[in-house]
């Protein structure tokens, strides 16, 4: 998972906004000033929850901070830190204590030759690859990764539920995706080798243009990241990936070991137990499309679940 990936996804989200006649916005917190999440009387040492510079990471950071505060752990957030290289350094220098991470992407960053794909396999490999001073807590079911989506009409017309179902219609399918998708294993190369799917045409597009191509019929399938707000905003259908071409990338709290306590673990494990991809997609939509503040979105969700 790279910063470029999320920059592209932000543009896709803007397309969803255009389709709805809305204006997208991201979180607006100051990246250098931690913002208090409030909470009850402290029962554990204070923590700073960092976030990368995209709204999904910031929503997750606010959720973690509010959940911890509700359990008596004084927690503040530091959003907009930047790329993985930057926030991992912040963990090392102790300017932040916790960040939301993604199992597959972090594993690939730490161990580029890893071949793990299944969710539990990736999680186990990640725990083994982590630096000695870092620890991941329980992973959630929520994933943000490459996916293949189609419109609701196309899914109904061809009875599509998984990627392999496209093979029977490949002579009619054009795929819209970023240019690099054409030559990558997690792209057209893998779609052919793993599923035997070769579309009639490939449309190298970026951001807003990918969504537009699906909506106007220039493409019948597209590569969009699994929690992108454009999916729910436009009613797109995400096709299942039973062969795990796109691997596993579960959301997980990455924590400095010296900040891990029973209270911290239980609070964040409870969050992970309730977080799935559909929920995360909706939370991101509320920020990017509905223009709600990330802190408000986090608090409302936790309160509904009795976690804040």
Which element (helix H / strand E) includes 98? Answer: strand 98-102
Structure pTM? 0.82
Is pLDDT of 21 > 50?
no
CATH superfamily, region 3-143+248-305: Periplasmic binding protein-like II (3.40.190.10)
Eight-class DSSP state of 94: T
pLDDT computed for residue 232 by the predictor:
85
Over residues 247-270, mean pLDDT: 97
pLDDT computed for residue 182 by the predictor:
96
pLDDT computed for residue 185 by the predictor:
92
Nearest to 157 by CA among 144, 142, 172: 172
Over residues 125-147, mean pLDDT: 97
pLDDT computed for residue 122 by the predictor:
98
Over residues 273-284, mean pLDDT: 95
Contact by Cβ (8 Å): 169, 158:
yes
pLDDT computed for residue 44 by the predictor:
61
Q: Which CATH number fits domain 148-223: 3.40.50.620, 3.40.50.720, 3.30.70.270, 3.40.190.120?
A: 3.40.190.120
Distance CA 23, CA 288 (A): 8
Q: What's the whole-number average pLDDT of the chain?
A: 89
Domain boundaries, the chain: 3-143+248-305, 148-223
Q: What is the pLDDT of residues 208-249, one digit of tens each?
A: 899 999 999 999 999 999 999 999 889 999 999 999 999 999
Contact by Cβ (8 Å): 80, 29:
yes
Identical fold, 3-143+248-305 and 148-223:
yes
Phi, psi of 299 (to 5 degrees): -65, -45
SS3 per residue for 204-239: ECCCHHHHHHHHCCCCCEEECCCCCHHHHHHCCEEC
Over residues 268-289, mean pLDDT: 95
Which pair of structure tokens corresponds to residue 242? 């039973």
Contact by Cβ (8 Å): 246, 265:
no
């Amino acid at each position: 998972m790279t910063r470029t990936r999320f920059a592209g996804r932000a543009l896709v989200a803007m397309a969803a906004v255009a389709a709805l006649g809305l204006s997208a916005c991201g979180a607006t917190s100051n990246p250098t000033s931690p913002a208090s999440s409030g909470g009850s009387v402290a029962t554990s040492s204070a923590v700073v929850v960092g976030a990368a510079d995209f709204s999904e990471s910031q929503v997750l950071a606010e959720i973690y901070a509010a959940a911890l505060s509700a359990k008596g752990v004084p927690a503040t957030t530091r959003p907009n830190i930047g790329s993985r290289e930057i926030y991992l350094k912040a963990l090392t220098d102790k300017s932040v204590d916790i960040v939301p991470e993604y199992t597959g992407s972090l594993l690939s960053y730490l161990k580029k030759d890893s071949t793990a794909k299944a969710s539990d396999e990736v999680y186990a490999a990640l725990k083994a690859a982590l630096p000695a001073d870092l620890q991941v807590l329980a992973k959630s079911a929520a994933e943000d990764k490459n996916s293949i989506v189609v419109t609701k009409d196309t899914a109904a017309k061809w009875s599509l539920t998984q990627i392999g179902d496209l093979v029977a219609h490949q002579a009619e399918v054009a795929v819209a995706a970023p240019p690099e998708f054409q030559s990558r294993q997690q792209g057209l190369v893998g779609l052919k080798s793993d599923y035997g799917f070769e579309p009639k045409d490939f449309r190298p597009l970026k951001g807003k243009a990918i969504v537009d191509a699906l909506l106007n019929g220039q493409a019948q399938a597209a590569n969009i990241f699994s929690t992108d707000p454009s999916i729910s905003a436009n009613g797109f259908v995400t096709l299942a990936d039973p062969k795990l071409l796109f691997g596993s990338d579960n959301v997980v709290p990455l924590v400095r070991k010296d900040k891990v306590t029973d209270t911290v673990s239980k609070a964040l494990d409870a969050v992970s137990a309730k977080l799935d991809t559909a929920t995360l997609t909706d939370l991101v939509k509320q920020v990017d499309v509905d223009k709600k503040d990330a802190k408000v979105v986090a608090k409302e969700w936790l309160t509904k679940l009795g976690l804040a």
